Amino acid sequence: MSYQHKDLAAGRWGELSFLEQMANIGSEVERALKWRAKNNADYSQKAFERTLELIDLTLEGIRNSNHLKEITRVREAIVDYFFGSNQFMSTESLWRNYFSHFTYAARRDY
């Protein structure tokens, strides 16, 4: 598999806390939303692909069953929002709000 985040895929991702991982996933989601709003489907698609890559790297290293449930549901809902029928009725503000909590919590530890 070809990774966009090669250094993270090589093991650095596993060194990050779950909060840091989710905050980084949120950064890619933010980019995808930004490019979508600017009607740049190509850049939005690429940011979304990086989002899925980070989610999948997180799934590979999860040891906590609560985190597993959360991240698999996030993956399902974000795919539905960007490329499905949006059956969960997600919104841009919902995604921004959801990930902002992880960003705040991850930064609080520093």
| Cα Rg of the chain (Å, integer) | 14
Does this model's pTM top 0.75? My answer is yes
Work out the average pLDDT over 49-63.
92
The full DSSP string for 51-100 is: HHHHHHHHHHH---HHHHHHHHHHHHHHHHHHHS--TT---HHHHHHHHH
Work out the average pLDDT over 25-49.
97
pLDDT in tens, 69-104: 999 999 999 999 999 999 999 999 999 999 999 999
